[in-house]
Structure 1
C-alpha cells in the first residue's frame, strides 16, 4: 500500500532531522519526501496501515502532518 501525507517539512535539513526517527520506527518501509510538491509530500510504501503512527510521530517531533 502507498500512504501519502501533507507535511510542513520544506527543507533537506528538516528531512535529516526526521530521517533517523522514521527509519527506526518504520524499518520495513520505503519512504520519501517530495519537497518540490506544494504540499511537501511524505510518501510511504508498506504493508501495514501506519497512518496514525506517522501522524503521531511527526506531531511529537514538532511537524505538521495529515493524510491525503
Structure 2
C-alpha cells in the first residue's frame, strides 16, 4: 500500500531527519519526499496498511503540517464520456 501526503517541508535536512524518524518508528515502511513537487509530497510504502494518523501526528510533533493527499481520478459514466 502507498499513502501520499501533502506537507509544508521545504528543507532537505528536515526531510532527511523525518525519514529517519518515520523509518525508526515504522520499520516496515519505506519513506521518501518529493520536495520539488508543489505539494512537497511525502510517500509512504508498506506491504500492509499505512497508519496516516500516526504519520501526521509525528510530523505535527516535529513542527510540520501534513495531510493525506486524496486521489483525483476523473470518472465518467458511459453517457458522460467525451466522444
Shared fold (TM-score, shorter chain, > 0.5): yes
Q: Residues 11-63 of structure 1: CA distance to partner in whole angstroms, max 9, x if unpaired?
A: 21111231321121111111110011000000011112311110111001110
Structure 2 residue 13 is matched with structure 1 residue 2? no
Q: Can you give the 5+ residue segments of structure 2 that lack an aligned partner in the other structure?
A: 70-83
Q: How many residues align?
A: 68
The structure that is helix-richer by fraction is 1
Q: Can you give the 5+ residue segments of structure 1 that lack an aligned partner in the other structure?
A: none
Secondary structure in structure 1 of the residue aligned to 2:31? strand
TM-score of the two chains, using structure 1 as the length reference: 0.90
CA distance in structure 2 between the partners assigned to 1:12 and 1:49 by the alignment: 23
Corresponding residue for 1:22?
A: 22
CA distance in structure 1 between the partners assigned to 2:18 and 2:4 by the alignment: 16
Larger Rg: 2
Corresponding residue for 2:45?
A: 45
Distance 1:13 1:30, change over 3 A: same
TM-score of the two chains, using structure 2 as the length reference: 0.75
Corresponding residue for 2:62?
A: 61
